[in-house]
Amino acid sequence: MVGVDASAEMLAVAGEQVDLGGVAGLVDLRHGDLRDAPVEGEFPLVTIPFRTLLHMETDRDRRAALATVHRLLAPDGRFVFDVFSPSDEDVSDTHGRWLEPRAGDLGARRLDLATRTLILRVRGETGDAEMSLAWLSVPEWREHLAAAGFAVESLYGWFDRTPWEGGEDSVWACRRNS
Ligand SMILES: C[S@@+](CC[C@H](N)C(=O)[O-])C[C@H]1O[C@@H](n2cnc3c(N)ncnc32)[C@H](O)[C@@H]1O
């Protein structure tokens, strides 16, 4: 398995887990950008888990990320990723104001409808950090995937494979169609 992340700190955490799991010989961790991943070859599975694609804030970045996946995916391989888009209720509750964290949240959050981003503020020992996640709707993701040469094989509402029925989370399994 090859793992790519743009953060050296996250790679260090992953490296600790790899050692704890006793799988060091099976995992190759690389520092790089998923829009142009420092990886060659063809893989039966390419996954961009836990909403990471939402770090792509422009269509250009999304296209670059999907083109990289297409380059690395074996002809009969699968591309699996998950994303979210906020519900209308979440939008009306949260737009423009900070909401304090609920159980399980990373930190306070605010939605910006102009840029379609969720901004998260996380309090750490050395100060506050903010990160933003740029969402798209399910039909918009379908368009990007089709343009990048992917067919959507399954669309789930969660990792337990319940079908997607319009909820905020979506988990996608795709194949190459070109
Ligand atoms: C939700 S975390 C997922 C972490 C890890 N891949 C996992 O599966 O547990 C999102 C990760 O995306 C990384 N990231 C953000 N932008 C990136 C980029 N352009 N290229 C590569 N990694 C990126 C962040 O450093 C962060 O570790």
H or E stretch covering 21:
none
Do residues 132 and 120 touch, judged by C-beta distance below 8 A? yes
**pLDDT at res. 82:** 98
**Atom of ligand 1 at shortest range from CA of 10:** 27
The CATH number for 46-83+135-176, chosen from 3.30.1280.10, 3.30.1050.10, 3.40.50.150, 3.40.50.360, is: 3.40.50.150
Q: Where are the domains of the chain?
A: 1-32, 46-83+135-176, 88-133
**Nearest CA residue ID for atom 19, ligand 1:** 33
For ligand 1, what atom is nearest to the CA of residue 33? 20
Q: Which atom of ligand 1 is nearest to the CA of 50?
A: 1
Q: Return the exposure string of 98-125: e unless at least 16 CB atoms fall within 10 Å of the residue's CB, then b.
A: eeeeeeeeebbbbbeeeebbbbbeeeee
For residue 125, give the DSSP letter.
T
- Does ligand 1 come within 6 angstroms of the Cβ of 151? no
Per-residue pLDDT 10s for the chain (178 aa) are 999 999 999 999 999 999 999 999 999 999 999 999 999 999 999 999 999 999 999 999 999 999 999 999 999 999 999 999 998 887 877 777 788 787 777 788 888 888 999 999 988 888 888 999 999 999 999 999 999 999 999 999 999 999 999 999 999 999 999 7
